[in-house]
Amino acid sequence: MSTAVTSHARDIMAKLYRASEPDVLKPLLDRAALDSDSRERVMGHALGLLADLRAAQSKGWVNQFLQEYRLNSSEGVALLSLAEAFLRVPDPETADLLIADKLGDADWRAHAGKSNSKLVNSATWGLVVGRVLVGEGSTGPLRRLISRAGEPFVRQAVGAAMKMMGEIFVMGRTIDEAMKRMRRPENKGFTASFDMLGEAARTHADAQRYFQAYVGAVDAVGRDPAAGHSISVKLSALHPRYEVARWSECVPALTEMLEALAVQAASKGIALTVDAEESERLEMSLDIIGVVAGLPSLKGWDGFGMAVQAYGKRARPVIEWANGLDRVMNVRLVKGAYWDSEIKRTQVEGLADYPLFTRKAATDVSYLAVAKDMLAAENIRPAFASHNALTVATIMEWAGNSRDFEFQRLHGMGDGLYERLVQENGYHCRVYAPVGGHRDLLAYLVRRLLENGANSSFVHQLADERLTEAEILADPVAKIAAVGGKRHPSIPLPVDLFGAGGHRNSAGLDLSDVGTLEAVVAAVSAPLPVAGGVGGGADLSSTGSDRGLVIPSPDPSREREGSSVVAAITRAHAAFPGWSTTPVDERAACLERLADLLEKHRDELMAICVQEAFKTIGDAIGEVREAADFCRYYAQQARLNLHPIELPGPTGERNTLHIEGRGVWATIAPWNFPLAIFLGQTVAALVTGNTVVAKPAPQTPRIAARAVELAHEAGVPVDALVLVTGGPEVGAALTADVRIQGVAFTGSTATSRKIARSLLDDETRPIVPLIAETGGINAMIVDSTALPEQVVADVIASSFRSAGQRCSALRLLLVQEDIAEGVIEMLSGAMETLRIGRSGDPATDVGPVIDQAAYDRLMAYRESVKTKIVKTLDAPTDGLFVPPTLVRIGAIEDLNQEWFGPILHVATWEAGKLSETIARVNAKGYGLTMGLHSRIARAAEVIEAEAAVGNLYINRSMIGAVVGSQPFGGEGLSGTGPKAGGPRYLYRFCAERAVSVDTTSAGGNATLLSLDEGGI
């Protein structure tokens, strides 16, 4: 290995990872450009390839079917959704519901007789009849005629059609079947790279099964090495926790497995290629590939290879790195397979920029530039995977007479593009051929079809008869040069996610970058400094000493006032007139400055969250981000909504609605979100013109004290925000004071009841608002159309992240009984991958619970249900570690209490009883969060209409509500509303005052009299 070359390449990768798109594209444009003569020759080749493609498309029924039902039509989406889910549904009742859902609303008649293919037209008429069967309802004439006998018929027909679609995109159910299919006449001259359909493993059992599948595939292909076939390997299929935080665990294990496969392939004389993964895994992948590439036992074997994704900004230095490995490397260049998920992840995590290009044409430019590098590289044997005629023609132009490379295409796509090149012109082409059961194609099928069917893709454009040849073969270099290499205007940077009129998105940290991760770990592990006064007279000296923390002393200048609740309220009461008359814009500016300070002091705040509240590193980042989002969002909402409103009325009268602060508010925060909720409640009260006495949970005074210090630094007067600390007795004294004009509380339902009673006990006291956010028995319903891998990932996050100590956490998993055992088995396996440990370790998934009382309560409950535990883990004994636990219960009604920790209960429900199941959950009286996993749109409509919850999550996890996007709060026993982080939250903190002025009493309406309408 040339260390200097590979090190230089890694340095460049680091600089390009999230660099500005125009800066990355500038050198690529020069590299990818064609001179006029070359462009003319390329266009000639491309037009010929285009003609071949269209000729093949007009012949094959598959191509015509996909052309008729494109992904930009409701019918195409319906078919794709049906194909994704149908084959995994075991029960006929749900299968019928899925068919009705996907076929029932689409306009199949509009496609009848439109295709040149008789087979496509026949299939369309089948869909028309199918829609009648499932979509007419029970009273339709054909429905009455066929009655129930029609459903098995339609089900069987759909099943056969879905298996046919599976055969289009999956080469074979087994490696032997796939190799046999490659010997068919239509594949003459082509070789294959077999992929065992190994998507990301969820469990160690998954990983072992995929590894054995690869071993078997290498052995099978190795029986006939002269055929020239190869194997493709996904590293994420070989380890369930292929993550940067688990680097020390997964990289050595994967290196060992890849070495075993490579040695086996070398001994058989066949090639092995490592597939590309998501961008955050690139550095890990290179470490693994680099070690295996340098093994002495593999010297002389030229079959080792890797895939590179051109949509990534780091593609060119990856080629430089591969070329410096001091051996021949087979490199497959692809456009990219995870574009949409990469974009979303970057936005959700608030990262600085995207790791990939946001325009399809920019990806094409990158592809061409990297392809030219590969053709010039001394130690790279190139493979160009493309269905784009212009791309293929350009590579042919640059390669000249050379055939020392190969093209590649996906099985089931690109028919006609390469046949003439292979059979008449001596080019090599390899088919990327998935192998596996049709029911397992799932996400693979969806991703490949979406990737190659996007509106801007060559495959989609080819099928659009409205586009001319010139438009289809337009030069991507010219396209990108025309826009200056700028990002796509519809894809803003994460900081601008909420648009010009919205708040600025909070900045996150990229923990997939090793340097960033190491710096964060060092920061959160550093001893906390001794803090000064908190400017609020709070006595923190008696709390937290047993938690190994240094607690700040009271501000000496305020000691004479004491730390009593009465004194704190007195100060806030006196400060109210001045703060309430401060203009809204100035109050909002204080919140925005506070948000900036939170991000400036992010490392310190994260350290306190980790050490005081036992937050994991990921949760600590989220805590600071959410606090900053609350500040900016409420500032934006205040500027928008809190100014006086002129109301309509008769002439000679002025009516105005003023929105004012109410007085002193008490905000009482929980320990599970000691910064985000503490500040969210507090700044909402402040920006609406109230003064605040803020009480954190007794377990987390330090983070609250620092937040108050920063608020004062941001411009909030020290008497407008006063901190008091302590336990229930302090909270009771606070809410009992008649000067308190409102209470915002987050915590238990029992405590919120006590507060509500205390606010009403004194008959002379004004009725004041209570905003209460409490817990819930949060349920997720899963039907048999759901993708189990996605369900398990979301259940793990929803149940066990933050050690289950979130109000929104999943407590009750309800799985359709037909798939329950399989889901529970996969869930149990995924639980085994969880790591329990100290909060500051980036590999930790589940940290300790908050205190001894919580630990004792949860452990006692586990002991009481030990005969019902179906899965639990071993936990360290030297801390407050409650093991993640899965408890099987007999019925929904068996769980009637929220257990605030990493304990998940699972029960089953019967197919066809979704409404009844929702009603049984509603009957518990809680209404915080609920989830649904289903591919049936009607099921989503039913739960949306019938679930009595504040937050409903469909086909995603149930935690992580984002300020401004998912306003959070429950109903019933789960809270009063309004929802935190929503557009109506601030109004609850306000007093509304209407002022009506009769202007005629001062001599008439001058405005009316001045109207020039002719006069008398």
217-245 pLDDT, tens digit each: 999 999 999 999 999 999 999 999 999 99
pLDDT at residue number 463:
64
Query: Is residue 752 a contact partner of residue 771, using CB atoms and an 8 Å limit?
Result: no
Least confident residue range of 332-341, 816-825, 843-852: 332-341
The mean pLDDT value for 276-298 works out to 96
Query: Is 429 tagged catalytic?
Result: no
Grade residue 562 by pLDDT with cuts at 50, 70 and 90. very low
Grade residue 1011 by pLDDT with cuts at 50, 70 and 90. low
Grade residue 160 by pLDDT with cuts at 50, 70 and 90. confident
Grade residue 543 by pLDDT with cuts at 50, 70 and 90. very low
pLDDT at residue number 801:
97
Instruction: For residue 639, give the nearest of 499, 502, 495 by alpha carbon.
Output: 502
pLDDT at residue number 469:
87
Q: Give me the residues paired with residue 408 across strands.
A: 385, 430
* pTM strictly above 0.85: yes
- SS3 category, 747: coil
Query: Is residue 955 a contact partner of residue 944, using CB atoms and an 8 Å limit?
Result: no
Least confident residue range of 93-102, 107-116, 368-377: 107-116
The mean pLDDT value for 670-698 works out to 98
The mean pLDDT value for 457-486 works out to 84
| CA 307 and chain centroid, separation | 25
Instruction: For residue 596, give the nearest of 572, 624, 620 by alpha carbon.
Output: 624
Residue 844 has pLDDT above 70, yes or no: yes
Residue 425 has pLDDT above 50, yes or no: yes
In the DSSP assignment, the letter for residue 962 is P
pLDDT tens, position by position, 598-622: 999 999 999 999 999 999 999 999 9
Query: Is 773 tagged catalytic?
Result: yes
Residue 475 has pLDDT above 80, yes or no: yes
pLDDT tens, position by position, 55-65: 887 665 555 66
Query: Is residue 418 a contact partner of residue 427, using CB atoms and an 8 Å limit?
Result: yes
CA distance 123 to 83: 15
Least confident residue range of 144-158, 182-196, 623-637, 965-979: 144-158
Beta strand pairing status for 903-909 and 926-927? unpaired
Grade residue 724 by pLDDT with cuts at 50, 70 and 90. very high
Residue 560 has pLDDT above 50, yes or no: no
Grade residue 535 by pLDDT with cuts at 50, 70 and 90. very low
Q: Which residue has the higher pLDDT, 441 or 700?
A: 700
Residue 137 has pLDDT above 50, yes or no: no
pLDDT at residue number 42:
96
The mean pLDDT value for 981-1001 works out to 94
Question: How many contiguous H segments (helices) and E segments (strands) does the chain have?
Answer: 37, 25
Residue partners of 263: CB distance under 8 A and separation at least 6: 295, 297, 298
CA distance 521 to 43: 54
Instruction: For residue 737, give the nearest of 662, 665, 660, 661 by alpha carbon.
Output: 665
Among residues 429, 590, 631, 807, the one annotated as catalytic is 807
pLDDT at residue number 1008:
57
pLDDT at residue number 736:
94
Strand residue runs (E) in 786-902: 812-816, 869-872, 885-888
Rounded percentage of the chain residues whose pLDDT exceeds 90: 76
Q: Which residue has the higher pLDDT, 450 or 287?
A: 287
Residue 85 has pLDDT above 80, yes or no: yes
CA distance 845 to 840: 11
CA distance 617 to 644: 43
pLDDT at residue number 557:
37
Grade residue 851 by pLDDT with cuts at 50, 70 and 90. very high
pLDDT at residue number 58:
66
The mean pLDDT value for 735-759 works out to 95
Grade residue 546 by pLDDT with cuts at 50, 70 and 90. very low
The total number of residues shown for the chain amounts to 1016
pLDDT at residue number 145:
38
Average pLDDT value for the chain: 89
pLDDT at residue number 528:
85
Least confident residue range of 95-104, 418-427, 429-438: 95-104
Q: Which residue has the higher pLDDT, 675 or 563?
A: 675
Residue partners of 235: CB distance under 8 A and separation at least 6: 242, 254, 258, 274, 275, 277, 281, 284, 285, 288
pLDDT tens, position by position, 404-423: 999 999 887 778 899 999 99
pLDDT tens, position by position, 23-64: 999 999 999 999 999 999 999 999 999 999 888 876 655 556
CA distance 823 to 817: 10
Instruction: For residue 794, give the nearest of 904, 670, 942 by alpha carbon.
Output: 904
Grade residue 533 by pLDDT with cuts at 50, 70 and 90. very low
Among residues 349, 773, 789, 898, the one annotated as catalytic is 773
